[in-house]
Structure 1
Amino acid sequence: MVSLKKIYITTGLTLLIIVLGIVALTTWYTVDESDQAVILTFGKVDETITEPGLHVKMPWPIQSVEKVSKETFSLQFGYSDKDGVVEDYPKDTKMITGDENIVLADLVVQWKITDPQKYLYNADNPNELLYDSTSAALRSIIGNSRIDDALTSGKAEIEANVRELLSHLIEKYDIGISVLAVKLQDVELPNAEVRKAFTAVTDARETMNTKNNEAKKYENQRMNEAEGEIAAINSAAEGEKAARTERARGDVAVFDKLYAEYKNNPDITRERLVIETLEQVLPHAEIYIMNDDGNTMKYFPIRGLEKEQPKAPAESEGEQ
């Protein structure tokens, strides 16, 4: 028959082994490169561990560890993509624009946990709160945007505004999350008929923009040509101005020389100027200088004699 003392010893040793095992297993823990940990002392947050590696703590139940990832997460708003199977949630994506049109808009939010303590204990379900905040931010921005901006060139501005508003909401809720990026996936009209009508309007607008661009291009071309012509005319005018200025200076120099000669011999210079002027005015006229003494004017027709060329005597055919 087993003694009571032996039972007590066996039970004590078993409990000691169990306690030592718990202590041995729960006094150390590891943090991976992609993780961060929160240390709880009797259920109260003590500190946050972000350095990877092996760490030591007090055994359970004095201290416990909660781990969360440091990786970047993607929130798919309005749809889900699991193993290549895409499922849409039109009730979440249907919203009204600022000019009272209906669009379907979904997006992806890139976020990460920046404060594990707040993420774990400031909200019961921070992921759901992030989803609802994304919906509120997107609907608010789309509700203040025109449909043209949402469907065409205004997407980048809408993304920036959604990120700013969403970050403000998340900061206000204080759940330890930071929004890194917001990317619109699809923004489209609710049915085929509306899409067809909007496509027609968009095509007309694109045609108008093309024509406007062509008109501006032609205008710029003509302006450049006109500016070139103006520059050429100005250059020619400057050249003519310079030429005339030089000619005027030359004429002044000639006049000064003539005036100096005139002062020395006024009669001769006067006759010379008259003759030169007649030669310029009547370049093909013959000029005769005669002395008119009141009697019959006589002159010797030298010009006529100059025109008569003496002919060389013809050689006789028999001359050798």
Structure 2
Amino acid sequence: MVSLKRIYTVTGLVLLIILLGITALTTWYTVDESDQAVILTFGKVEEGITDPGLHFKLPWPIQSVEKVSKETFSLQFGFEEKNGKMKDFPEETKMITGDENIVLADLVVQWKITDPEKYLYNSKDPEEILYDATSASLRSIIGSSKIDDALTSGKAEIEADVRDLLSSLIEKYDIGLSILAVKLQDVELPNDEVRKAFTNVTDARETANTKENEAKKYVNQRMNEAQGEKDALIYKAEGEKAARLEKARGDVAVFNKIYAEYKNSPDITRERLVLETLEQVLPDAEIYIMNDEGNTLKYFPIRPLEKEQPVQKEEGSDKQ
């Protein structure tokens, strides 16, 4: 018959082995590169661990480890995408713009855990708080924006405003999260008739903008052409001005030379000027030398002599 002492001994050994096994298994832990951890001593947070690798701690139940991911998470607001299938929740995304129009706005928020202790213990469900804060931020910004901005060119500004407001709310709630990016996935009108009407208005506005840009382009082109013609006329006038000034300076110089000769020999200069003027006015006229009574004193064939003079010079040079 087994003695009571033997039973106690075996039981003690079993408990010891179990205790040693628990101690051996709970005195170390590993942290992956994509994880971060916090150490709890009797349920109280002691420190955060972010360095990957093997770490040691006191055995359970003295100390325990809680791990959370370092990765970036995406919050899908207004839709859900699983296995390549998209499911919309229009009742959650229906909101009123600042000019009292109804739109459906879907949003994606990228976030990550920056403080594991606060994420784990400052709130019961931090992701639900993030979802509610996202809804409040988006509705607030859309509610102060015009429908044209929400549907067309104002999306970037709306995204920036939503991110700023959401970040301030998350910081105020102090739940250990950080907002990385906000992206509007889709902003549309609630039904086909409204969408068609708005599309027509948008197309008309774009056509008007196109026509206005074409008109501005034409105006600029004509202005450039007119400016070019203006510059050409100015350059031409300046050229003519310079030419006339040079001609005037030349005429003045010729006049000064003639005047100097006239002062030395006024009669001869006067006769020479008369003859030169006749030559210019009547280049083909025959010149006769007359006496003072008006009778022809003698016919003097000047034109034939002018034509024969070069020939005589050539003959004289041959005789030499």
Given the two structures, how large is their TM-score scaled by the length of structure 2? 0.91
Aligned to 1:242: 242
TM-superposed CA distance for 1:301, in Å, is: 7.5
Taking the TM superposition and a 5 Å limit, the aligned residue runs for 1:221-300 are 221-280=221-280, 282-284=281-283, 286=285, 288=287, 290-294=289-293, 296-298=295-297, 300=299
Aligned to 2:156: 156
TM-superposed CA distance for 1:82, in Å, is: 1.1
Deviations 1:208-246 (A, max 9, x none): 011011101111111111111112112112211221121
The 2-side partners of 1:163 and 1:278 are apart by: 98
Report the aligned-residue RMSD: 1.8
Taking the TM superposition and a 5 Å limit, the aligned residue runs for 1:10-159 are 10-159=10-159
Unaligned runs of at least 5 residues, structure 1: 307-320
The 2-side partners of 1:304 and 1:249 are apart by: 34
SS in structure 2 at match of 1:190 = coil
Cα 1:278/1:55, change in 2 over 3 Å: same
SS in structure 2 at match of 1:60 = coil
Aligned to 2:188: 188
Cα 1:267/1:29, change in 2 over 3 Å: same
TM-superposed CA distance for 1:284, in Å, is: 4.5
Would you tell me which structure has more helix in proportion to its own residues?
A: 2
Deviations 1:70-110 (A, max 9, x none): 00000000011111221111111000011110000001001
Check the 8 A contact 2:38/2:46 in 1, yes or no: yes
TM-superposed CA distance for 1:269, in Å, is: 1.1
The 2-side partners of 1:82 and 1:295 are apart by: 128
Cα 1:293/1:19, change in 2 over 3 Å: same
- Aligned partner letter, 1:104: L
Aligned to 2:314: none
Cα 1:264/1:58, change in 2 over 3 Å: same
The 2-side partners of 1:289 and 1:102 are apart by: 110
Unaligned runs of at least 5 residues, structure 2: 306-320
SS in structure 2 at match of 1:2 = coil
Deviations 1:266-285 (A, max 9, x none): 111122223323333x2456
- Aligned partner letter, 1:93: T
SS in structure 2 at match of 1:58 = coil
TM-superposed CA distance for 1:299, in Å, is: 5.4
TM-superposed CA distance for 1:297, in Å, is: 5.0
TM-superposed CA distance for 1:294, in Å, is: 3.0
The 1-side partners of 2:282 and 2:232 are apart by: 36
Cα 1:113/1:305, change in 2 over 3 Å: closer
More deviation, 18-27/245-254:
245-254
The 2-side partners of 1:13 and 1:206 are apart by: 86
Deviations 1:134-164 (A, max 9, x none): 0011011111111111111111111111111
Aligned to 1:309: none
The 2-side partners of 1:304 and 1:119 are apart by: 123
The 2-side partners of 1:123 and 1:276 are apart by: 117
The 1-side partners of 2:185 and 2:298 are apart by: 113
Cα 1:283/1:43, change in 2 over 3 Å: farther
The 2-side partners of 1:242 and 1:60 are apart by: 105
The 1-side partners of 2:140 and 2:282 are apart by: 95
The 1-side partners of 2:298 and 2:113 are apart by: 126
More deviation, 121-130/231-240:
231-240
The 1-side partners of 2:16 and 2:81 are apart by: 51
More deviation, 37-46/233-242:
233-242
More deviation, 252-261/169-178:
252-261
Taking the TM superposition and a 5 Å limit, the aligned residue runs for 1:168-207 are 168-207=168-207
TM-superposed CA distance for 1:123, in Å, is: 1.0
Cα 1:305/1:12, change in 2 over 3 Å: closer
The 1-side partners of 2:301 and 2:290 are apart by: 16
- Aligned partner letter, 2:262: Y
Aligned residues: 305
- Aligned partner letter, 1:129: I
